[in-house]
Amino acid sequence: METPVPLDGFIQIALVVEDMDRALDAWCELLNTPRPHVRVTPAEPDPDESYRGETACYA
């Protein structure tokens, strides 16, 4: 089966989900693409980013 969505040019996709493994499996099946390596990094405050007036802390 051919990938239904062109993936050329994608570098990163960010989604907020309840179950990362389940969501990743579903997206890989939908896009007919192999499961990528997942890297989890600790969230660190970034003084150059803010959310609702507070310093943002993204992983």
- Name the residue with higher pLDDT: 53 or 14: 53
pLDDT at 49 over 90: no
> Rounded mean pLDDT of 50-57?
85
| Chain segment 8-42, per-residue pLDDT in tens | 777 677 778 999 899 999 999 998 889 988 888 78
pLDDT above 70: residue 4: no
- Least Cα distance to 4 among 34, 35, 30, 36 occurs for 30
The answer to whether 45 touches 55, Cβ cutoff 8 Å, is yes
Give the whole-angstrom CA distance, residue 10 versus residue 55.
28
Find the domain containing 26 and state its range: 1-59
Q: How many domains does the chain have?
A: 1
pLDDT at residue 40, as a whole number = 81
